[in-house]
């Protein structure tokens, strides 16, 4: 086992899924986002736990992500949140992946491909109609929704299985952010009603991501689409304290720990520098622990200076620039609490011994926990515990 690894705390994932369920009306479906390898947590493992827990759908970003789940025995519905190429479209039908559609050209291309795939059969493949209410990424305009739904319904081998939109500011707490979110919701409601008025069932409607799921229960519709909260982190400004002030109690537990190991301890005299650019020199005689983890693993270069690792319950600073494959940690001279082969925890749940979370690293890097988690590379093994 390589010295740098990630552990997935399965009980914490199950706990978070249970916390999410507590906030839903009976019968509300769950579509769990497992794109980007389940935010770095191992998509197959997460998908199987979510499926056992009753998740109706899983959301992926690429066709390959969906195929991996199918080939590993996942039977829950899979929704593709991004567009695919015409060459990939037959794979949607083969692996029972539900695509988003919204433009006339895309719907026609998918319909033609479905005609070729299903031939003279009566089979219909479900799609979800994306509506752009303010994200500005994918989706038809609200006034176009009924027409697009009619196109889908008139296709011999496509069927409208649902409608969705995506919020751009639901994780903000300012009055401007709240107003924008509510306007997006109202526009989506209008789009859904226009489809119904055209005599077409809109299917499963969804718009609530993690932030809206917690802060706006009136926006749950038929299905919610949690992401970051399943992995133990609050969505940006919608923090535990903010929710508590609204009378909303939810206890989230980080699911992943990112760890390395002390592989060398070196004596540094005062004035000796460490790493590229000589950005740090020892102000005194000290010992430096070398860890086999760097920015190619997900410990991003911009985290230093400032990032610390936890070894046997104490924090120690990473010094000098983080390298591609290694970093150096100042442990102080003749420290009896740090020995060769000791675990060095970068972040994780308290059960891992970590004193930091992905949120703490996000603050250092001027980013969000999502990026910290998904930056952990494939060469870091994931182990279920």
User: Catalytic residue positions?
Assistant: 35, 276
**C-alpha torsion sign, points 29, 35, 38, 44:** positive
> Token match 């038929």: residue?
222
**Separation CA 306–CA 119 (nearest Å):** 61
What is the three-state SS of 183-206? HHHHHHHHHHHHHHHCCCCCCEEE
Phi and psi at residue 75, in whole multiples of 5°?
-110, -10
The Cα-based distances of 146 to 40, 205, 262 in angstroms read 37, 14, 60
Burial code (b: 16+ CB inside 10 Å, e: under 16) for 42-51 equals bbbbbbbbbb
Give Rg (Cα) of the chain.
24
Phi and psi at residue 63, in whole multiples of 5°?
-60, -40
The DSSP element (H or E) to which 325 belongs, if any, is none
The DSSP line for 2-15 is: -SSEEEE-HHHHHH
Q: 149: which 2 tokens?
A: 């739904």
């Amino acid at each position: 086992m390589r010295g740098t690894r990630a552990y997935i705390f399965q009980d914490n994932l199950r706990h978070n899924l249970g916390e999410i369920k507590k906030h839903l009306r009976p019968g509300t479906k769950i579509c769990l986002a497992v794109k980007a390898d389940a935010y770095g947590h191992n998509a197959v493992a997460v998908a199987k736990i979510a499926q056992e827990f009753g998740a109706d759908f899983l959301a992926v970003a690429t066709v390959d992500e969906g195929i991996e789940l199918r080939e590993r025995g996942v039977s829950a519905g899979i929704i593709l949140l991004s567009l695919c190429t015409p060459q990939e479209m037959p794979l949607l039908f083969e692996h029972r992946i539900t695509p988003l559609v919204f433009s006339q050209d895309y719907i026609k291309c998918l319909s033609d491909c479905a005609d070729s795939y299903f031939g003279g059969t009566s089979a219909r493949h479900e799609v979800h109609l994306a509506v752009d209410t303010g994200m500005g990424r994918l989706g038809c305009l609200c006034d176009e929704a009924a027409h697009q739904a009619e196109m889908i319904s008139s296709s011999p081998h496509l069927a409208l299985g649902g409608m969705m939109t995506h919020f751009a500011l639901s994780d903000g707490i300012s009055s401007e952010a709240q107003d924008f979110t509510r306007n997006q919701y109202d526009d989506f409601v209008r789009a859904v009603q226009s489809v119904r008025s055209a005599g077409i069932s809109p299917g499963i409607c969804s718009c609530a991501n993690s932030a809206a799921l917690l802060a706006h229960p009136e926006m749950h519709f038929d299905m919610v689409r949690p992401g970051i909260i399943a992995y133990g982190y609050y969505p940006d400004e919608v923090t535990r304290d903010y929710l508590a002030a609204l009378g909303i109690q939810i206890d989230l537990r980080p699911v992943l720990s990112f760890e390395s190991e002390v592989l060398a301890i070196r004596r540094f005299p005062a004035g000796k520098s460490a790493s590229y650019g000589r950005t740090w020199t020892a102000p005194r005689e000290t010992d430096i622990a070398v860890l086999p983890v760097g920015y190619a693993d997900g410990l991003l270069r911009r985290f230093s200076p400032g990032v610390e690792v936890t070894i046997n319950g104490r924090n120690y600073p990473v010094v000098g620039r983080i390298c591609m494959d290694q970093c150096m940690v100042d442990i102080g001279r003749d420290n009896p609490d740090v020995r060769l082969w000791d675990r060095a925890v970068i972040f994780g749940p308290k059960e891992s011994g970590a004193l930091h979370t992905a949120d703490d690293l996000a603050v250092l890097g001027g980013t969000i926990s999502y990026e910290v988690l998904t930056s952990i590379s494939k060469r870091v093994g994931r182990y279920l515990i």
